[in-house]
Amino acid sequence: MKEIPGDLKFMKSHEWARVEDDGTVTIGISDHAQGLLGDLVYVELPNVGDTLEVGAGCAVVESVKAASDVYAPVSGEVIKVNSALADSPETINEDAYGDGWIVVVKPSNLQEDMDNLLDPDAYAEQVDSEDE
């Protein structure tokens, strides 16, 4: 498995969130999640301006095998979506923590939402126990 960047925090359901220098939050799915899904063929994105609520569905990723909801790790307003994924959803397979990001939000309850997420070690531990 790929090394997990230390500045990410995770939901149990495999989404990651990263607080950027400007206070926005970038959201994606983990490398482990893309591995479980297999080749991605379609990503349904929210619209810029949509309001996300923590724990609610904010995007859908579909592989040949399955469709999976992506849940928002933080509440906030969508300020950017990765529209390149429309033509090349496989970017998530190739670079889940980088070019495969899904949305950027302006968070509305940052501190509390981030505190509820798992740090990389705790997430890695969860993934390991799933594999057993």
Partner 1 sequence: MSQQTVLNATHRALGAKMVDFGGWDMPISYGSQIEEHHAVRRDAGMFDVSHMTVVDLRGARTREFLRHLVANSVDKLKVAGKALYTCMLNAEGGVIDDLIVYYLDEEYFRLVVNAATRDKDLAWISAQAQAYGVSVTERPELAMIAVQGPNARAKVQSLLSPETAAKAAKIGKFVACEGDGLFIARTGYTGEDGYEIVVPQEQAVELWNRLQAAGVVPAGLGARDTLRLEAGMNLYGQDMDESVSPYEAALGWTVALDEGRDFIGRAVLEQQKAQGAPRQLVGVVMDDKGVLRHGQRVTSANGDGEILSGTFSPTLGKSIAFVRIPAGEPGQLQVDIRGKLVPLRVVKFPFVRDGKPCDGI
For residues 71 and 56, is the Cβ–Cβ distance under 8 A?
yes
Q: What part of residues 23-42 is at the interface with partner 1 (CB under 8 A)?
A: 38-39, 41-42
65 binds partner 1 (CB under 8 A): yes
2 binds partner 1 (CB under 8 A): no
Cα Rg for the chain, rounded, in angstroms?
A: 14
Segment contacting partner 1 by CB under 8 A, of 47-55, 58-66, 100-108, 120-128 = 58-66
Across the beta sheet with 9-10, the strand order is 9-10, 15-19, 25-29, 103-107, 76-81, 51-52
For binding to partner 1 (CB under 8 A), which residues are involved? 38-39, 41-42, 44, 60, 62, 64-65, 67, 86, 93
